[in-house]
Structure 1
Amino acid sequence: MTFQERLLQLRRQKGFSQEALAERMGVSRQAVSKWESGLANPDINNLVL
């Protein structure tokens, strides 16, 4: 399972929208969308969150 697949699975399992997850992490919704689509990866500080 790839990072983006796992992120999407966990986000849905917890019932978070991309917007809600982004808000909790202090990033934009677009960043979460890019992570889930595989267009970008979070930096190490965001991975810890």
Structure 2
Amino acid sequence: IGPHNIPELTEFLASPLSIKCQAIDVNSKFEKSPGLKNPRDLQTFVNTLKKEN
């Protein structure tokens, strides 16, 4: 899951299926280097999801 998946995530989170969703697993799309996430990109992603929902 990466920033390009926001439309799909927004649709999912608006559906009844999301009631059982505990977390969203993000992957290497947010990494600066292998195993090291970019906090700024992650925060932007989270903020965008919050605005959409």
The answer to whether TM tops 0.5 is no
Higher helix proportion: 1
Larger Rg: 2
- TM-score, normalising length from structure 1? 0.28
Higher strand proportion: 2
- TM-score, normalising length from structure 2? 0.27
